[in-house]
């Protein structure tokens, strides 16, 4: 696989550069697709603290990051919520796919420039989530790449 070489001052971007980046993305996706699992790739760290005045409720904060869900790498924004029952857990779920603006090509035709795969954090009982990355309370983390490699 080709590796980019950059120097201070930058250089022009060529179609070949974009092709190589797409190849890298597809290769990475193929590795994860074979595993058939939903995991956190980076970020998405969880902080659970007891709610003030409650012994059975938590405040939950999840940092931004990236997750692999249903065969796609997805952007996960940060999230926080207060006074959540202790029996509930955070889960990262896939959002609907949105498409970028249409671009016009030299021949006059147009097409969508990209698809945007995103995710969101939801709170609920662990058994309520399917096709999601569900927080593991006993291990105090979401399943991640380390779990994928060591399983």
pLDDT in the model for residue 85: 92
Q: Identify the sign of the CA torsion 37, 38, 42, 47.
A: negative
Q: What is the Cα–Cα distance from 130 to 76, expressed in whole angstroms?
A: 17
pLDDT for 151 beyond 70: no
Say if pTM beats, i.e. exceeds, 0.85.
no
Condensed to tens digits (0 to 9), the pLDDT of residues 28-68 reads 788 777 777 889 999 999 999 999 888 889 999 999 999 99
pLDDT in the model for residue 2: 65
Q: What is the Cα–Cα distance from 149 to 29, expressed in whole angstroms?
A: 15
pLDDT in the model for residue 19: 86
């Amino acid at each position: 696989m080709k590796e980019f070489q950059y120097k201070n001052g930058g250089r022009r971007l060529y179609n070949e550069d974009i092709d190589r980046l797409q190849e890298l993305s597809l290769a990475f996706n193929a590795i994860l697709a074979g595993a058939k699992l939903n995991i956190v790739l980076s970020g998405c760290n969880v902080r659970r603290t007891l709610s003030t005045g409650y012994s059975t409720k938590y405040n939950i904060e999840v940092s931004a990051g990236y997750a692999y869900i249903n065969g796609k790498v997805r952007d996960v924004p940060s999230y926080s919520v207060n006074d959540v029952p202790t029996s509930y857990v955070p889960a990262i779920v896939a959002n609907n796919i949105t498409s970028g603006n249409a671009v016009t090509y030299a021949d006059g035709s147009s097409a969508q420039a990209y698809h945007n795969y995103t995710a969101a954090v939801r709170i609920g009982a662990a058994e309520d989530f399917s096709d999601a990355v569900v927080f593991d309370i006993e291990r105090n983390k979401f399943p991640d790449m380390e779990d994928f490699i060591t399983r």
